[in-house]
Amino acid sequence: SIPISIDLDSGDQKTQEFKTWGTLIAHQCDQFRNWKPEEIELLEQLSIQLSIAIKEDQLRQQIKTLNAKLEAQTQASDQKLQALLNNTFQCTAILSPEGILLDVNQTALDFGGLKREETINRPFWEIYWWTISPEIQQQLRESIAKAASGESIYYEVDVKIVGNKVATTDFALRPLRDATGEVILLIAESRDVSDRIEAKRALQENQILLSSVLDCIPQGVFWKDKEGNFLGCNYKFSVDGGLSSSQEIIGKTDFDMPWKEEAKLYRADDHQVMASGETKLNIEEPMTKVGKISRLLRTHKMPLRNPEGEIIGVVGTYEDITENKKAEITLRQSEARYQMLVDNFPNGAVMMFDHDLRYILVGGFGLAEVGLSKQKMEGKTIWEVLPKETCKLIEPLYRRTLAGEEIVSELPFGNRLYLVYFLPIIDQGKVQAGVVLTQDITQQKQAEQKLQQLNQELEARVQQRTADLEAEIAERTRLLNILEASLNEIYIFDAETLKFQYANQGALRNLGYTLEQLQQITAINLKPQLTPEQFQKLIDPLLNHQQNKTVFRAAYQRANKTFYPVEVHFQLIEHQQERLFLAVALDITERQQTEDRLQLVEFALDNAQESVVIVDQSGQIVYVNKTACESLGYSSTKLSNLKIWQIDQSLNAPPQWEEFCQRLKHQK
């Protein structure tokens, strides 16, 4: 008899408690048996497996109940708020008039690699983004003071972002007033405008980070071209292949690796994946690692595509499942032995009686729990071995069984409760005897009572969670109202008809339309410089899922027929079989003016009569005008690859160059 114990799930491993759920009983009916240690160990292992299965089933039922009640309450509000808040392209934060950060969107947190708890209720200027220098922090504090007095602030500033990098952003700080005109909140918005070189550098750093992540995972990762040449791999794959680094794999094929005997099998899967364009999962295949070690793998392969979507190779991952397979075989063997024990040793006490209500066969570990035994019962009637009260209770049931009736009943005996099966033994149409099978369900009944108590507690927790969700929905509604007050233009329009369904107050103010008026026109009407065909060409990559978003510049036409330049960000949203476009338009009037001035300055420098050469602090030439190229006899491309001292012999290479730069700085 082995107890089946279940973890009470107190949450503290140091005080972990268990309760007995039931008992696993094995019995040999025909004779006394001394159980061997390995048989007892087997039963103990089966008891542990049953405990785990019962506990997992209880947890699944609790989770299923919670999920069903919570999902319906949060789905609609979550989707709408998520689309408007976290799918915006700019960083947005909400401040108190004193500059304390009250809320921030996920875009801003991701921009700085921060967690929400690291930012909320802290002075805005002390948060990671602004710690680039004391001067920038002081500038922000002064801007917050001006915005708190009712002034809208705009400027370009460098901030720190994730990875301790620096990004240049367009920063805006706007006051939000209540009905009396008092400033109650400040809305801070920014967008990364770092140049393309910075973006390229960030991409390179991300690639390094991705390589580090791939090297840390326990699975092997590899990718090949269409001819089967390896293009790269992670650390795990290089170790399995006996390579000192992942770079050594480049250019090799499976036929060059320790698993060359399996190479044809691998290449067949590669060709199938590339030909079909579909992922192939859970491929169980052998592998010979370095050292001629044979292992069994579970491999997943998918097509490797270029930015145009063309298949250029295959990428795969695998994990070593050798030990798992061995464990599965052992488990199947254990299950077979368990089934044999169940078939031969019924659970609980077994008692066979004749028409005189005399026991003719008795067995089972349950007998000892109530002070009975095979020796005490066999050959005796029920009145000779059982209490009178019990006999009065079971005699009618025994008689009905001998009459051919099958009965299931719950009966008490002493301080225990049993589930009892009364079964007639029929031979050639005649009842020869009766069989009683008993199972102690005392602990089960106690567990049912405990489960009922747990259900009541769970219901209370669900009610509390519902109240918490209602409060969360109210908070998200407040954030939605704040977005409505944003000065950035936010639109939602139908992907088929292009008719507007929604525009925030910032869009309506800039355009001079009411929402009802805007809903009578299409997105093309705001951009009369674009033909319908040109506009359709812009949105086709989104509709065909070739791009996640598209960005372009245009001139919006107001209701009064005036125009202003904007940068428009389009994103396709598919929600409940409805296809919509989310558009965020940024007014770039000031940026356009700045770019025009920069182009004018560049034109003036390029056409100056004097030679103009610009170098950075390392001495690298970064710009030369036409006059300099003509006088020096070099092309601009050739000069851009030179140091200044390579064309001016009066300037020596470092360290003299560094001293020269320092003197220039001190001379202002």
Residues 193-230 pLDDT 10s: 876 556 667 777 777 788 888 888 889 999 999 999 99
Q: How far, CA to CA in Å, does 62 sit from each of 65, 445, 454, 565?
A: 5, 19, 10, 56
Length of the chain: 668
3-class secondary-structure state, position 373: coil
Q: How far does Cα 344 stand from its chain's mean position? A: 49
Question: What is the spatial distance between Cα 405 and Cα 421, in angstroms, rounded to a whole number?
Answer: 11
Q: How many CB atoms lie within 10 A of CB 334?
A: 14
Q: What number is the average pLDDT over the span 557-586?
A: 88
Q: How far, CA to CA in Å, does 478 sit from each of 85, 475, 534, 637, 656?
A: 12, 5, 39, 56, 61
What confidence tens digit (pLDDT) does each residue in 309-337 have? 999 999 999 999 998 888 888 877 865 55
Quote the strand ranges of 87-239, DSSP E. Answer: 91-95, 101-104, 153-161, 165-177, 183-192, 220-225, 230-233
Q: What number is the average pLDDT over the span 548-568?
A: 89
Q: What number is the average pLDDT over the span 613-628?
A: 84
Structure confidence at residue 337 (pLDDT): 55
CATH level 2 (architecture), domain 349-440: 2-Layer Sandwich (3.30)
H helix or E strand, kind and range, residue 64: helix 37-85
Q: Which of 91, 110, 116, 270 is nearest to 193 (CA)?
A: 91
CATH of domain 91-194: 3.30.450.20
Question: What is the spatial distance between Cα 586 and Cα 519, in angstroms, rounded to a whole number?
Answer: 20
Band (pLDDT 50/70/90 cuts) for residue 510 is: confident
Quote the strand ranges of 162-229, DSSP E. Answer: 165-177, 183-192, 220-225
Band (pLDDT 50/70/90 cuts) for residue 86 is: low
Q: Where are the domains of the chain?
A: 91-194, 201-325, 349-440, 488-591, 607-666
201-325, CATH topology level: Beta-Lactamase (3.30.450)
DSSP string covering 282-326: EEEEEEEETTTEEEEEEEEEEEEE-TTS-EEEEEEEEEE-HHHHH
527, 538 Cβ separation under 8 angstroms: no
488-591 matches 607-666 in fold: yes
Q: What is the DSSP letter of 643?
A: B
Looking at this protein, which amino acid is placed at residue 336?
A
Structure confidence at residue 553 (pLDDT): 87
pLDDT at 343 over 50: no
607-666, CATH topology level: Beta-Lactamase (3.30.450)
Question: What is the spatial distance between Cα 91 and Cα 160, in angstroms, rounded to a whole number?
Answer: 13
628, 613 Cβ separation under 8 angstroms: yes
* Mean residue pLDDT across the chain: 84
What confidence tens digit (pLDDT) does each residue in 356-366 have? 999 988 877 77
Q: What number is the average pLDDT over the span 590-594?
A: 83
User: Phi and psi at residue 455, in whole multiples of 5°?
Assistant: -60, -40
User: Phi and psi at residue 372, in whole multiples of 5°?
Assistant: -110, 170
Helices then strands, each counted (H, E), the chain: 19, 24
Q: What is the DSSP letter of 361?
A: E
488-591, CATH topology level: Beta-Lactamase (3.30.450)
Looking at per-residue pLDDT, the higher value among 515 and 596 belongs to 515
Q: What number is the average pLDDT over the span 438-442?
A: 82
Structure confidence at residue 650 (pLDDT): 62
Question: What is the spatial distance between Cα 90 and Cα 483, in angstroms, rounded to a whole number?
Answer: 12
Structure confidence at residue 80 (pLDDT): 56
Burial of 264 (0-12, 13-18, 19+ CB in 10 A): exposed
Structure confidence at residue 651 (pLDDT): 56
591-616 burial: b if 16+ Cβ within 10 Å, else e: bbeeeeeeeeeeeebeeeeeeebebe
For the whole model, what pTM was predicted? 0.29
255, 263 Cβ separation under 8 angstroms: yes
Looking at this protein, which amino acid is placed at residue 334?
S
Q: Which of 157, 148, 89 is nearest to 129 (CA)?
A: 157
Question: What is the spatial distance between Cα 622 and Cα 619, in angstroms, rounded to a whole number?
Answer: 9
Q: How many CB atoms lie within 10 A of CB 522?
A: 16
What confidence tens digit (pLDDT) does each residue in 166-198 have? 888 889 999 999 889 999 999 999 888 876 556
Percent of the chain at pLDDT > 90 equals 30
Looking at this protein, which amino acid is placed at residue 335?
E
3-class secondary-structure state, position 45: helix
Long-range pairs, 384-391, Cβ under 8 A, ≥24: 385/359
Cβ neighbours of residue 382 closer than 8 Å, sequence gap 6 or more: 353, 357, 359, 390, 391, 394, 395, 398
